[in-house]
């Protein structure tokens, strides 16, 4: 990490706080100051998204909307990078123990993709295993959201078993799922091999999208 990064003013807002955490996840509220979050939400609303089929269950999950994918080193941030990107990286570095990667930040990268889930869509249970992934993050950027509109992030706070993708087996897991509601300006960071799903967005959401910046945290191969 260079000296400029070490001396940079934190991008995370002064009111940011840990809402809740488990063995494999952490939920951070009010990641950005209000004005910066409003600018982030506005920029996201103008981001061009294209419909894509789910890679988990293309038949029943429905079409989500996605805007590109970029990969960046965790320890490198461009001078003109959006504040949300800098804040997300700060929080990932602050929770490397949660990802079972203490002291590994120089070997880590993260991807950045914009996702929008319209009414009627969901993402089935999966664990993000493979491809060098050690974790993932979800940052909610819609300006408003109601719990009645669905779209919650469900997590099972245990290492996924070999039969984890079997829906019948998952019903009998010893750990109750945790439901993280899509609160605006909320960041969730969690470890790979953790079963999670996006609840179906309800019809009452109307034309509102469940909007997130989402990506994987990966360990670079030598």
Q: What is the mean pLDDT of residues 89-113?
A: 94
> How many Å apart are CA 184 and CA 188, to the nearest integer?
12
pLDDT digits (tens, 9 = 90+) for 8-67: 689 999 999 999 999 999 999 999 999 999 999 999 999 999 999 999 999 999 999 999
Give the chain's mean pLDDT: 92
Classify 206 in phi/psi space as left (phi over 0), alpha (psi -120 to 50) or beta: left
Predicted local distance difference test score (pLDDT) of residue 89: 97
pTM for the model: 0.94
Q: Residue holding tokens 């089935």?
A: 124
């Amino acid at each position: 990490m260079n000296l400029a990064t070490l001396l940079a003013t934190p991008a995370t807002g002064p009111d940011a706080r840990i809402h809740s955490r488990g063995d494999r996840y952490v939920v951070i509220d009010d990641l950005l100051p209000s004005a910066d979050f409003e600018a982030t939400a506005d920029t996201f609303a103008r981001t061009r998204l294209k419909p894509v089929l789910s890679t988990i269950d293309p038949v029943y999950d429905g079409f989500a909307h996605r805007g590109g994918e970029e990969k960046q080193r965790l320890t490198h941030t461009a001078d003109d990078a959006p504040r949300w990107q800098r804040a997300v990286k700060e929080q990932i570095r602050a929770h490397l123990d949660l990802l079972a990667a203490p002291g590994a930040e120089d070997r880590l990268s993260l991807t950045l993709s914009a996702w929008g889930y319209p009414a009627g869509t969901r993402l089935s249970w999966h664990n993000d295993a493979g491809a060098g992934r050690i974790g993932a993050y979800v940052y909610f950027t819609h300006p408003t959201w109601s719990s009645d509109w669905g779209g919650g992030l469900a997590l099972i706070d245990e290492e996924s078993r070999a039969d984890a993708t079997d829906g019948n087996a998952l019903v009998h897991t010893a750990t109750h799922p945790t439901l993280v509601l899509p609160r605006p300006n909320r960041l969730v960071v969690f470890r790979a091999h953790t079963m999670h799903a996006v609840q179906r967005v309800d019809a009452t959401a109307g034309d509102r999208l469940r909007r997130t910046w989402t990506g994987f945290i990966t360990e670079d191969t030598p």
